[in-house]
Structure formats: C-alpha cells, structure tokens
Amino acid sequence: MAVVDVQCPECGSDEVVRYGRQANGEQRYRCDNPHCQRSIFLLRYCHTGRLPEVKRQIVDMALNGSGIRDTARVLGVSPMTVRTTLKKKRRRFIR
C-alpha cells in the first residue's frame, strides 16, 4: 500500500482529509485547518488553464508582446483560454 503525504497548498497544514472525487475521477481533499482560506483542493489539476500561476503567466506574456497563439503554444493551453483570461483581466482594468 502506498502512502501519500498531502499538505494544503494554501496554508501548508497536514490537517487534510479525503473529500470525494471529481467527475473525471480525481481525488479531492479538504483542509480541516479552521484558519485556512481554501477548503477544497486537488493534488493534480486536469485543466492547467485554470491554475492561477498559468493565468498570471498569460497576462505577463501579453504585456511583453506575445500573441495569443504563441502564448497558448508555450503554456500548453487552448487559445480560447488565453483570450478569455485576457478579456476578464481587461474588464478589471477598464472600470
């Protein structure tokens, strides 16, 4: 039997319990630390375009002059993900 040490990505706590499965079969976990902002998380995300780090990289690459298709190819996400992320960020800056 294999044992996997799981820590909360937000607070780093070891107070983590299994919390069911996603529709695609991935195991979900819940942080039981009462002071943690994030309660449910996955160890490995299927859609990398949803990760905050990738969204930040999309915006950084756009500010440095990279095109949509170039950004999508480098980060391994869909061009529609790049366009949607940039549109959402644009709405925040215009207001």
The domain ranges of the chain are 1-46, 48-94
Provide long-range contacts, Cβ within 8 A and 24+ apart, for 3-9.
4/43, 6/43, 8/33, 8/36, 8/38, 8/41, 9/38, 9/41
- The pLDDT, as a whole number, for residue 3 is 78
Assessment of whether the complete model's pTM goes beyond 0.75: no
- Summarize the confidence of residues 7-22 as an average pLDDT: 87
pLDDT at 24 over 90: no
CA distance 59 to 70: 13
- pLDDT tier at 93, thresholds 50, 70, 90: low
The CATH number assigned to the domain with range 48-94 reads 1.10.10
Mean pLDDT of all residues belonging to the chain: 87
Reported as a single tens digit per residue, the pLDDT across 38-84 is 788 888 877 788 888 899 999 999 999 999 999 999 999 999 999 99
